[in-house]
Amino acid sequence: MAAVPTLSYSSFRTYEECPLRWRFLYIDKLPEVPRGYFTFGRVVHAVLEDLVAPLVVPTARRAGESDRQRTLDEFHARGTEAAPPRWMTPDELLETYSREWSSEGYTSSEEESRYKALGRELLLRYYDFLLRERPAPVSVEEHLEARWEGIPVHGYIDRIDRNPAGGLEIVDYKTSRDLSSDDARESDQLSLYQVLVENNYAEPVHGLTLYHLRSLTPLRTEPRDRTALVGLHDRFGTVLDGIRAEAFEPAPGRHCSRCDFRDRCPEFRSVPPVEGARLRALVDRFEALRAEEGRLEVELRRTADELHRAAEELGVHRVPGSRTTAVRRREEAWQYSLDHVRPLLERTGLASRVRSGSSEEVRRLVRDPEVDPEVRRKVAETGARRVKWYWELEEGSPDNPP
């Protein structure tokens, strides 16, 4: 069994997308081909860290969670003798940008020039914005670790601000082309950052923000509730279990088109020429059998329906053949109209009993004697019974017993 890793958002997302790619990156340590847009994002984040760092005023921390933990007592008190933070000039900002710039991953000098010009414009516009509305950060680019109910997690958080209304706000910069409020509300990355901050800071998280730098738009959302975090925790647990069990099978999909390891992946590896003829014959045979299987399935279904009609007309459940007896079995299921059931359950405080919305959950509620009989009756009235008949074969027949 593999050692338990400390999961970041990036490694979690990689395993969910393709376990084999996770193994290539985190166990085999294979390098990926550099890409310009990743390089651009790293450079902009580094410059923003230098820009905002002078404004940081640390706050109280919890003990025992992070390798960089400090408490408020470790910082000098801010008094009249403290020098005000020195703010970068626009020229210094651009000098920092030039110093941090990297040409890695760009496909052409034209592409690099376009990105570099975009970065200058983006940073200067954000600089002007910060002059008007300076944030109140308590940390920038901080590495936090935690054990999330048994799962070791970590992450680098772009910025943690003091929220004007109280508590802390997590800010994650994004240099992507498009971003929406739905991205903030549905971001697993922000959810993980909330967990990390709540496990490392004494103050509660009161807000989550994806900051779209291209449009200077803060996309704010409320902190995640317990239900949302439980769902994400379960997914992290599934990933961790898979890694511990060394379950590294490929998961093909649209992401394969941008994968750097296709030449190592069995999904795309070519058959050796020496095996080509033998395997081609097997594939052709499989294709023929699959076609025959489909034809037999249609014929089997037609014969079963004909037997069922005959059994219905004669009122019998057992039909003897030459060597076996066909026995008719019934399978019963109930289906409920969730559009009618859910409002009723919400009014009566029973909605938590039917979280998945499955008919089996509703059926258990209808049979529960502790539930108010009138509620059970109203729920039951929305149901409809579905009966499915099927056939089984028993060895032997009256003329040819086993």
Q: What is the mean pLDDT of residues 153-170?
A: 93
Q: Is 246 inside a domain boundary?
A: no
What pLDDT sits at residue 73? 47
pLDDT at residue 76 above 90?
A: no
Q: What is the mean pLDDT of residues 36-47?
A: 95
More confident: 353 or 231: 231
| Same domain membership, residue 142 and residue 120 | yes
Q: Which residues contact 203 (CB under 8 A, 6 or more apart)?
A: 59, 60, 167, 168
pLDDT at residue 66 above 50?
A: no
| Same domain membership, residue 310 and residue 402 | no
What pLDDT sits at residue 289? 94
| Same domain membership, residue 284 and residue 343 | no
Domain end marker among 166, 194, 224 = 224
Q: Is 297 inside a domain boundary?
A: yes
CATH number where 80 lies: 3.90.320
Per-residue pLDDT tens over the stretch 259-311: 999 988 888 888 888 888 999 999 999 999 999 999 999 999 999 999 999 98
Q: Is 12 inside a domain boundary?
A: no
Q: What is the mean pLDDT of residues 337-356?
A: 77
Q: 380: domain range?
A: 317-402
| Same domain membership, residue 340 and residue 217 | no
Q: Is 264 inside a domain boundary?
A: no
Q: Check if the beta carbon of residue 319 is closer than 8 Å to that of residue 311.
A: yes
What pLDDT sits at residue 71? 45
| Same domain membership, residue 280 and residue 336 | no
More confident: 337 or 128: 128
What pLDDT sits at residue 105? 94
What pLDDT sits at residue 77? 43
Overall number of domains in the chain: 3
pLDDT at residue 365 above 80?
A: no
| Same domain membership, residue 153 and residue 86 | yes
| Same domain membership, residue 153 and residue 41 | yes
More confident: 3 or 320: 320
What pLDDT sits at residue 344? 80
More confident: 224 or 382: 224
| Same domain membership, residue 310 and residue 166 | no
Per-residue pLDDT tens over the stretch 82-135: 556 678 899 999 999 999 999 999 999 999 999 999 999 999 999 999 988 889
| Same domain membership, residue 206 and residue 99 | yes
What pLDDT sits at residue 2? 57
| Same domain membership, residue 200 and residue 104 | yes
What pLDDT sits at residue 119? 96
Percent of the chain at pLDDT above 90? 59
Enter the pTM of the model.
0.69
What pLDDT sits at residue 63? 64
Q: Is 306 inside a domain boundary?
A: yes
| Same domain membership, residue 177 and residue 143 | yes
| Same domain membership, residue 394 and residue 329 | yes
> What's the mean pLDDT when you consider all of the chain?
87
What pLDDT sits at residue 385? 75
Q: Is 261 inside a domain boundary?
A: no
Q: Is 256 inside a domain boundary?
A: no
